[in-house]
Amino acid sequence: MQSSFWLDKWKADQIGFHLPEAHPLLKKFYQQVFDGVQDVFVPLCGKSVDMSFLHAQQISVVGAELSPIAVADFFTEQFPGQEVSSQVLNGSSLAQPSSGLILQSSIDNLRLLIGDYFALEQSMLFSVSQSNEPFPVTGIYDRAALIALPDTVRSEYVKQLVKLIPAASMLLITLDYEQQAMNGPPFSVTQDEVEGLFEFANIKILSRKNIIDKEPRFKDKGLSAFYESVYHIRW
Ligand SMILES: C[S@@+](CC[C@H](N)C(=O)[O-])C[C@H]1O[C@@H](n2cnc3c(N)ncnc32)[C@H](O)[C@@H]1O
């Protein structure tokens, strides 16, 4: 999936994936998965309200998102009137942005990196604790990130995740359905695929439900089953 696909979606405000409130399954499982975790990385974060939810639980958040529109909207909508600082992280200048440009926008303990997830470096994820000692991010929250990617890049996504965060406790929410009946995104990612992608890790399934009756836009596409699953993955 080309970057332009997502950048165009944000420009056209076609963001049916965005939820107005924190995800109920994050609320249900975050304490279990992020027990003892101080920092959570949110790849492909959009302008997810889930990040403000985690931040409100005193967890530091680092999100990564391609679209500057999503990031600007996030701060305007979630933290109106609050001063947001911005910084270029990878040496490119704002006046002459390169394709690898990574910017960060932040308020206290909540930073969004603007750029390509696959171009991120581990040092960009380090946050600064109150004692000004850097410490690594150890939590990962993935809702609609893995399932936003076509199958050809999902293993690259996982490789990059492990490179960025060598020891992690991850809350992963996926969807699976009959892929032939509909084109993604969201793509169908089955339990077998999750087990294959994370074969090096400890995987526990926390929940799996058919939510088709709550998803009229997918029912209208002819689907009779639409499973939402939650995993706790540790490595
Ligand atoms: C389906 S949306 C999910 C957003 C968010 N996780 C949520 O739950 O609302 C996928 C997001 O990933 C972003 N994205 C896609 N490819 C990306 C990449 N290579 N690097 C960073 N962000 C990317 C898109 O712009 C989009 O906002």
Tell me the three state secondary structure of residue 210: strand
What structural domains and CATH numbers belong to the chain? 3-12+21-234 (3.40.50.150)
Find the 47 Cα to ligand 1 centroid distance in Å.
9
Q: Ligand 1 pocket, 145 CB below 6 A? A: yes
Helices (H) and strands (E) in the chain, counts: 8, 11
Contact predicate 47/64, CB 8 Å? no
Find the 144 Cα to ligand 1 centroid distance in Å.
7
| pTM for this predicted structure | 0.94
The minimum-distance atom of ligand 1 relative to the CA of 44 is: 12
Find the 65 Cα to ligand 1 centroid distance in Å.
6
Cis peptide bond N-terminal to 150, omega within 30: no
The minimum-distance atom of ligand 1 relative to the CA of 70 is: 27
Phi, psi of 68 (to 5 degrees): -65, -30
Per-residue pLDDT of the chain (235 residues; tens, 9 = 90+): 789 999 999 999 999 999 999 999 999 999 999 999 999 999 999 999 999 999 999 999 999 999 999 999 999 999 999 999 888 876 554 444 445 678 888 888 999 999 999 999 888 887 544 445 555 679 999 999 999 999 999 999 999 999 999 999 999 999 999 998 889 999 999 999 999 999 999 999 999 999 999 988 888 888 989 999 999 999 9
The minimum-distance atom of ligand 1 relative to the CA of 1 is: 16
Phi, psi of 199 (to 5 degrees): -65, -20
